[in-house]
Amino acid sequence: MKRLSTSTKCCPHKDCPGCSYDREKIPSVYTQVKEFFKGKGDFPLITGELIHWRMRAKLAVRKEKGKTRIGLFKKGTHSVIEIPRCISHHPSINLAVESVNKALLSEKIEGYDETGRGFLRYIQCVVSNLTGKVQLVLVCNISQNRKWSSKEEKFLSLLLKNNLFDSIWINHQTQKTNRIFSDNWSLVHGKEYIWQMIAGHKYAFHPAAFSQAHLSLYGKLLKDLAKVVDKSAHILELYCGVGVIGLHLSKFAKKVVMVENNPFSEKSFHQSVKKLNPTQKRKIQYRLNDAASVVNEGFDHLIFDPPRKGVEKELLKKVLSWKSVQKIIYVSCNVNSFMRDTSILEKSGYKITTGRAYLLFPGSNDIEVLAVF
């Protein structure tokens, strides 16, 4: 297997389930998709940092055999493997984990166990690439109206003394479920949004809004995407998240309509759009709705950036009937659903003109695909 040119440091966590693949090797899934692109043009692999690239991490907190551990689940279990010196994490994430660990030990706060007992279930750390500070989420096994005990208050006070945290959130999750976050949020310290600089523009992120973890490489993807969009395009973007793609393209598009069903993403978008000039603002519409609700308004460009399951079959069938669409841009994090949807697009008369892969997940056998039809 071919190796990438960038050398990485040796990881100290040999039993960690987080990196299932040698980060210095070209993922075999890339070879698979490159073969799929045979006859459709070049399909280069674009790489970025291989260490300290992860700006966002969700980690489990569990009590086992009398000890609370923070880390990743061992494959197929709810047993946690600690990764305090992870080389994928931005250093601020490892410092945040250390700070939470110390506060837990100091106040004898217990992690969650699968019987439903224990205080802390998960943490999420998001690092701002502008400040290096962390937006910390504590997923707690308590209801929103329950009073905190004195030792829980002291635990929080210890964290508040740390200048590392841009903000601290509590997510109240009391259900016995594998779902990490509930819909109940409380801001206990700092700012409501963390800000990231991506491809020259600042974007706001609520902790419940999706963001990419490899921000610098994602910025390269955005710039490449902008090169394939026609000037004065009338764009519809589905599954838009906080609107990073649409806002980036609004510099030169005629109109951009973005559709997303996560209300926390919409809140984040309205913060980011304040940073735009009046001309760009007039070009943009953000609609909080399911992608299936869209109707054709004369769009000539269509952008898909779906979750791993890909585009819903009925939605794909619907938009393929729109005669006005001249170009479809597909950003995918799952090659299987991408290849499935590509087959449908090609049977409808669309042809791939551009394809690129991005190593947004070093240490895994995954790539992000950008394709233009």
Task: Quote the CA–CA distance of 260 and 268 in Å, as a whole number.
Answer: 12
Beta strands in the chain (DSSP E): 45-46, 56-64, 67-73, 80-82, 120-127, 134-140, 165-172, 185-190, 194-198, 201-205, 234-238, 255-260, 284-288, 301-304, 327-332, 354-358, 368-372
CB 117 within 8 Å of CB 64:
no
Q: What is the DSSP letter of 4?
A: P
Contacts 24+ apart (CB under 8 A), 278-284: 280/247, 280/250, 280/251, 283/250, 283/253, 283/254, 283/255, 283/256, 284/243, 284/246, 284/247, 284/250, 284/255, 284/256, 284/258
Which residues are known to be catalytic? 333
- Check: CB of residue 330 under 8 Å from CB of residue 340: no
Shortest CA distance to 352 belongs to which of 334, 366, 332, 322?
332
- Two structure tokens written together for 341: 């949807």
The CA distance from 305 to 287, in Å, is 15
- Residue 280 has φ and ψ, to the nearest 5°, of -65, -40
Question: How many Å from the N-terminal Cα to the C-terminal Cα in the chain?
Answer: 30
Per-residue burial over 269-278, b if 16 or more Cβ lie within 10 Å, else e, is bebbbeebee
Helix (H, G, I), strand (E, B) or coil at 360: coil
Q: Give, in order, the Cα–Cα distances in Å from 25 to each of 35, 341, 367.
A: 18, 28, 13
